[in-house]
């Protein structure tokens, strides 16, 4: 806690007052406390009269108000504020608490980790193997040089002069480093730079995709992490939030039940709702998507007292703040639910106008009333309810309470009017996938309020660790008194959170692609299940496997046998795999907590869910969402993706291999912490099935080809060492070594990584089964990379020994053979990339032609006589180009070598074409399957009631009740 800010009238000058000026030091005050306080007051008075702003140390504030700085918490802000209003009326004093790492955002965001792709991890291991192999090869060649120098060169007089210092060991030592330099192109260091460039371009493709551009909000897709594009093609688990991710988070007040009577019809589409005439209401903004003329007549005619109290509860029991725009209040709420409820009350004539710490101003049918706010018990995910205690203009005290049905109904008296009708309405609303809240009220006697207020003040003043528990007990005691005769269940609200466009189709498509879809939500189980059916997460024929049955399976000696028995729901089921696919798991937050306490169940649970259609987790907290992701990552090797739109999804997004944030209505925390940003859930189709699959295929082919072309070209020096006495002499011209990777083969390689496709975007979406290739990682497995290296070793043997056999005992010299091998290596790399390319563009063709032409042009330049005359040591291949390229034997040898080097690829391609044709013939000749008669067992309708989401944290109640003044437009009270 740095200090406190004292602000005067104008407050334009920053002044800093050090504690030593007031006689305070780290060892303690140098004067008596009374003298120090008097000196502090004098300094403050001078500064405030001058209209200056000053920062006062925390120790001084604590001394001034007799509050220990080490014990100061948010509950003591009122004690800081009281002296400010009595002693220094022109000053505003505040103290910073829970800052930095103690803030809620930082405590919930999780640890920051640098994400690496699975392919990158595999490739790093392969590169380490290549480096070690190169070092070992150089060591063996150096040993061979030492042996050759000792036994051959030293015995021949004309060769002994080539042994350095006549020391074969020292000569071998120098040759070792020479071979490391000569074989360095085999170590794909340049691949990392090229791969980053390819990743960046793939990310730009995602950003440029107009199919993922949401025109309504002018939001394109974003790739905030440019190194995870191939992970999009290997996702095995998609863990999604519900509210704001699958739904629009645009909450609409569609129905309500007051005194047992239901108003509105949720079966009518919002677009088809007939607007009611609300011209009599000066505060109406046209935001009521419910047609209930009967309710309006009752409200205006003041025919039902329950209706008036119901609307009063909506207008009073909230933490909404009102800003005024063109004479109409615009509400700022902690949650969309609260804003929808207060807005509905405003449209029906009960308009919330403003609030201060002690008063709430409401316009009731045009008459402004001021309610004294006695207490506000805020909503939390644990309490699942909110209450306000107000003194009405007539002097009576009322407690208004709203919350989930399971906590409100248990606090009502055994017999309550309209209770049975209310429960029926709750079931109807939940079956319609509406979010419900129960509204209750009770009258509080003055004596009861005074006793409770005194106990509350005493508990709030305590500085013990049990203070919050005591306050919670007091709150619960007040709300438990709903059981008395003076209490009444006023009604039920029903809010619609509509699914986003294309959500059912997207989930179905992703499931067909082999992706396991898990939905993690804070909603009640009944509503989450109904939403699951509507968005096709759950099939109508799906059997729901809940915790009681799942616990028995996990506790059984052989879980697989128990699970197979449990999932066979059809009487004459023949296809057991189909029966398993029709099983879905439904769990709640407390059940996940119990699962977390039994770590030995984790692996079995994940193995069982792999054979289920989907998993639905309800009533989960933000921490539990991240724990579920960790559980999946721990017990599977699959790539996980988490998607959400709010701050409570940040930890989950950062824990998954790939995090996707949706730009919704809950702030930008999810977007700021995500790897990819979308505007609509349906854009996942193209992100995964198109861009992800393309990126995985492109980078896999690119890596294998890059290893092939670099290693086959560089390993030739190893075989050349066996015929040159292990002297580390280069077979190639120096300029060819420099330009091979940079100019002769770079452009086609990059174009392959940019544009290669193994299917169009339309076919990728039409046949989502193509995506399953990434799950098995067949294209990028260590075996595939090792096979590419072995292929490169084979090609290097061909590149050396065929020209060596052709030119052995002929008049052609070393330089001619070097040019021939160079040309064969270039042709081999070119033919191989032609065989690898399935999707040709004008850029691929141009890059291929430019690369081959560049080889001939640069070879003619670097081997020209004119450059040799200028620098014989740098351009020592004097006229080799003219001599070699005019000899038909050189061309024949180069083509024969290149064709033999790529023979394995040609053979594999030919076999794949033959096999594909054979498979298509088999499809036409398959016999028809016999039809099995099975009963069509439909799922039963279970009791479903509340759908209130309880995943969000505490609201603004503490801030409202602790503020001395809140900026708002003051409305005169009649």
Count of Cβ atoms closer than 10 Å to residue 857 Cβ: 12
What is the phi/psi pair of residue 467, to 5°? -60, -45
Q: Judge whether 685 and 732 are in contact, CB under 8 Å.
A: no
218 is catalytic: no
3-class secondary-structure state, position 243: coil
Of 685, 630, 635, the C-alpha closest to 660 is: 685
Longest CA–CA separation in the chain, Å: 124
Relative orientation angle of helices 693-714 and 814-836, to the nearest 10 degrees = 170
DSSP label at residue 665: S
Query: Whole-angstrom Cα distance, residue 790 to residue 80?
Result: 76
Residues in CB range of 51: below 8 A, 6 or more apart: 8, 9, 10, 11, 12, 13
Q: What is the token pair recorded at 428?
A: 């109807």
Q: How far is CA 526 from the centre of its chain?
A: 26
Query: Whole-angstrom Cα distance, residue 24 to residue 30?
Result: 6
Q: What is the token pair recorded at 580?
A: 């398993």
**CA separation (Å) from 399 to 94, 334, 547?**
31, 21, 37
Query: Whole-angstrom Cα distance, residue 331 to residue 324?
Result: 9
Edge-to-edge strands, sheet with 14-16: 3-7, 53-57, 14-16
Query: Whole-angstrom Cα distance, residue 969 to residue 329?
Result: 9
Residues in CB range of 403: below 8 A, 6 or more apart: 379, 383, 384, 385, 386, 437, 438, 948
Of 122, 799, 898, the C-alpha closest to 130 is: 122
* Parallel, antiparallel or unpaired: strands 516-520 and 222-223: unpaired
Of 569, 549, 568, the C-alpha closest to 559 is: 549
Of 489, 277, 318, the C-alpha closest to 960 is: 318
Q: Judge whether 490 and 416 are in contact, CB under 8 Å.
A: no
Q: What is the token pair recorded at 111?
A: 């640890």
Q: Judge whether 640 and 115 are in contact, CB under 8 Å.
A: no
Q: How far is CA 857 from the centre of its chain?
A: 50
CB neighbour burial string for 416-444, b if at least 16 within 10 angstroms, e if fewer: bebeebbbebbbbbbbbbbbbbbbbbbeb
Q: Judge whether 188 and 710 are in contact, CB under 8 Å.
A: yes
Query: Whole-angstrom Cα distance, residue 301 to residue 306?
Result: 13
* Parallel, antiparallel or unpaired: strands 676-678 and 658-662: parallel
DSSP label at residue 334: S
Q: Judge whether 20 and 52 are in contact, CB under 8 Å.
A: no
Query: Whole-angstrom Cα distance, residue 907 to residue 725?
Result: 36
Query: Whole-angstrom Cα distance, residue 804 to residue 893?
Result: 10
| Catalytic residue, candidates 241, 627, 645, 649 | 241
Query: Whole-angstrom Cα distance, residue 351 to residue 329?
Result: 8
Of 242, 245, 758, 766, the C-alpha closest to 512 is: 766
**CA separation (Å) from 763 to 651, 855, 913?**
35, 38, 20
* Share in percent of the chain as helix, strand, coil (round to 5): 55, 15, 30
Scan for tokens 């193209």, then name that residue: 686
Residues serving a catalytic function are: 241
């Amino acid at each position: 806690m740095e200090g406190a800010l004292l602000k005067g009238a104008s407050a334009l000058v920053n002044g800093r007052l050090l504690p030593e000026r007031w006689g305070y030091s780290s060892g303690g005050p140098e004067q008596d406390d009374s003298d120090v306080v008097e000196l502090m007051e004098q300094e403050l008075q001078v500064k405030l009269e001058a209209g200056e702003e000053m920062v006062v140390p925390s120790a001084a504030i604590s001394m001034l108000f007799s509050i220990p700085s080490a014990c100061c918490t948010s509950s003591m802000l009122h004690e800081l504020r009281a002296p400010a209003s009595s002693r220094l009326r022109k000053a505003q004093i505040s103290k910073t608490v829970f800052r930095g790492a103690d803030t809620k955002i930082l405590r919930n965001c999780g640890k920051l980790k640098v994400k690496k792709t699975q392919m990158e991890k595999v490739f790093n291991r392969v590169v380490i193997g290549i480096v070690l192999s190169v070092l070992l090869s150089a060591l063996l060649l150096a040993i061979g040089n030492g042996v050759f120098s000792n036994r051959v060169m030293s015995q021949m007089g004309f060769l002994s002069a080539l042994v350095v210092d006549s020391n074969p060991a020292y000569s071998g030592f120098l040759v070792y480093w020479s071979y490391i330099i000569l074989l360095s192109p085999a170590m794909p260091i340049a691949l990392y730079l090229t791969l980053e460039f390819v990743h960046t371009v793939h990310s730009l493709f995602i950003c440029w995709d107009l199919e993922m551009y949401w025109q309504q909000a002018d939001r394109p897709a974003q790739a905030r992490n440019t190194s995870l594009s191939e992970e999009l093609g290997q996702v095995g688990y998609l863990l999604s939030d519900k509210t704001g991710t699958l739904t629009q988070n645009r909450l609409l007040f569609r129905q309500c039940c007051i005194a047992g009577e239901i108003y509105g019809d949720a079966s009518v589409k919002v677009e088809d709702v007939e607007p009611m005439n609300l011209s009599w209401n000066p505060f109406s903004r046209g935001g009521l998507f419910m047609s209930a003329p009967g309710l309006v007549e009752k409200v205006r005619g003041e025919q039902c007292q329950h209706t008036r109290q119901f609307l009063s509860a909506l207008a009073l029991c909230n933490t909404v703040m009102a800003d005024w725009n063109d004479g109409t209040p615009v509400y700022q709420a902690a949650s969309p639910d609260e804003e929808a409820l207060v807005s509905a009350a405003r449209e029906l004539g009960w308009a919330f106008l403003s609030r201060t710490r002690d008063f709430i101003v409401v316009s009731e049918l045009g008459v402004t009333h001021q309610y004294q706010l006695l207490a506000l018990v805020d909503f939390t995910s644990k309490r699942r309810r909110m209450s306000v205690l107000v003194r009405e203009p007539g002097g009576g005290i009322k407690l208004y309470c709203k919350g989930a049905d399971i906590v409100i109904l248990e606090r009502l008296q055994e017999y309550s009017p309209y209770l049975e009708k209310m429960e029926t309405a709750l079931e109807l609303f939940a079956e319609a996938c509406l979010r419900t809240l129960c509204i209750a009220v009770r009258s509080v006697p003055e004596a009861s309020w005074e006793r409770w207020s005194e106990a509350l003040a005493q508990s709030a003043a305590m500085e013990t660790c049990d203070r919050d528990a005591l306050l919670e007990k007091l709150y619960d005691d007040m709300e438990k008194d709903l059981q008395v005769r003076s209490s009444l269940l006023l009604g039920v609200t029903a809010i619609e959170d509509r699914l986003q466009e294309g959500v059912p189709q997207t989930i179905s498509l992703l499931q067909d692609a082999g992706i396991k879809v898990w939905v993690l939500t804070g909603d009640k189980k009944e509503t989450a299940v109904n939403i699951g059916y509507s968005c096709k997460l759950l099939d109508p024929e799906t059997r729901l496997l809940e915790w009681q049955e799942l616990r028995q399976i996990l506790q059984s000696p052989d879980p697989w046998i128990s699970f197979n028995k449990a999932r066979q729901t059809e009487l004459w089921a023949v296809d057991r795999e189909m029966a398993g696919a029709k099983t879905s798991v439904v769990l709640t937050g407390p059940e996940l907590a119990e699962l977390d306490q039994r770590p030995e169940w984790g692996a079995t649970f994940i193995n069982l869910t792999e054979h289920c259609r989907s998993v639905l987790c309800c009533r989960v907290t933000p921490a539990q969402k991240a724990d579920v992701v960790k559980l999946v990552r721990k017990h599977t090797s699959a790539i996980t993706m988490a998607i959400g739109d709010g701050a409570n999804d940040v930890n989950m997004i950062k824990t998954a291999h790939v995090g996707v944030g949706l730009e919704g209505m809950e702030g930008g925390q999810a977007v700021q912490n995500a790897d990819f940003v979308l505007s609509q859930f349906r854009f996942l189709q193209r992100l995964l099935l198109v861009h992800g699959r393309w990126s995985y295929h492109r980078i896999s082919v690119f890596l294998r080809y890059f290893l092939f072309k670099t290693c086959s070209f560089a390993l030739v020096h190893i075989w050349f060492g066996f015929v040159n006495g292990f002297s580390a002499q280069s077979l190639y011209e120096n300029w060819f070594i420099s330009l091979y990777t940079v100019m002769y083969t770079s452009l086609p390689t990059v174009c392959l990584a940019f544009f290669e496709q193994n299917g169009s975007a339309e076919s990728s979406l039409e046949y989502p089964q193509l995506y399953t290739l990434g799950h098995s990682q067949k294209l990028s497995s260590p075996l595939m990379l090792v096979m590419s290296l072995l292929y490169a070793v084979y090609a290097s043997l061909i590149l050396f020994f065929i020209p060596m056999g052709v030119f052995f005992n002929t008049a052609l010299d070393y330089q001619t053979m070097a040019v021939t091998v160079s040309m064969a290596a270039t042709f081999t790399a070119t033919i191989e990339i032609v065989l690898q390319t399935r999707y040709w563009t004008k850029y691929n063709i141009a890059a291929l032609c430019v690369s081959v032409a560049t080889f001939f042009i640069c070879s003619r330049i670097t081997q020209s006589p004119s450059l040799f005359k200028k620098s014989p040591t740098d351009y020592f291949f004097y006229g080799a180009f003219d001599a070699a390229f005019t000899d038909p034997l050189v061309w024949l040898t180069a083509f024969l070598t290149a064709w033999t080097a790529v023979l394995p690829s040609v053979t594999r391609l030919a076999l794949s074409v033959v096999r594909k044709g054979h498979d298509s013939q088999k499809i036409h000749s398959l016999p028809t399957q016999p039809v099995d008669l099975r009963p069509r067992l439909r799922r039963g309708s279970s009791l479903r009631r509340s759908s209130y989401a309880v995943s969000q944290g505490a609201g603004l109640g503490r801030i409202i009740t602790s503020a001395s003044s809140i900026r708002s437009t003051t409305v005169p009270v009649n």
